[in-house]
């Protein structure tokens, strides 16, 4: 039986109950979005501790942005961008209900803005 590591749950718990600025929220979608933004040469892997690698990548992207940004703001961007990317790949796939509604019911202008801001990695 494979041992399950609950990085996502632990990161959410630490983010919401300990310190949101010290503990970014990890999930595979956010990690994939970080990989996209950092590229193959900037993205760091750590097979012994995925969360440690995630935090390094998160901080690297945060420093590349070049403007004041909180952990919470980057968390939100990674979450929304990853949901949007998943929806673009598979419109019937499993994503957040409220975001699905936003993506499906947006006007042509809103859809163009969403695509310009979040439409990476298609």
CA atoms within 13 A on the CB side of 87: 22
Contact assessment for residue 8 and residue 26, using Cβ atoms and an 8 Å cutoff: yes
Closest to 60 (Cα-Cα) out of 72, 74, 46: 74
> pLDDT tens, 60-107?
999 998 778 899 899 999 999 999 989 989 999 999 999 999 999 989
> pLDDT tens, 13-57?
998 999 988 999 998 889 999 998 999 999 999 999 999 999 999
SS3 call for 27: coil
Compute the distance between CA of residue 41 and CA of residue 24 in angstroms, rounded to an integer.
Answer: 22
Say which residues have a Cβ less than 8 Å from residue 26's Cβ, sequence separation at least 6: 7, 8, 11, 50, 51, 54
Question: What is the model's pTM?
Answer: 0.82
């Amino acid at each position: 039986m494979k041992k399950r590591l609950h990085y996502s749950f632990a990161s959410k718990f630490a983010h919401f109950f300990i310190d949101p600025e010290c503990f970014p929220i990890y999930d595979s979608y956010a990690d994939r979005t970080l990989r996209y933004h950092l590229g193959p040469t900037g993205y760091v892997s750590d097979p012994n501790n995925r969360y440690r690698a995630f935090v390094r990548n998160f901080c690297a992207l945060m420093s590349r942005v070049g403007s004041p940004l909180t952990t919470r703001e980057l968390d939100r961007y990674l979450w929304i961008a990853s949901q949007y990317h998943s929806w673009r790949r598979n419109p019937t796939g499993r994503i957040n209900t409220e975001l699905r509604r936003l993506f499906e019911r947006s006007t042509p202008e809103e859809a163009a803005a969403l695509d310009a801001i979040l439409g990476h990695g298609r």
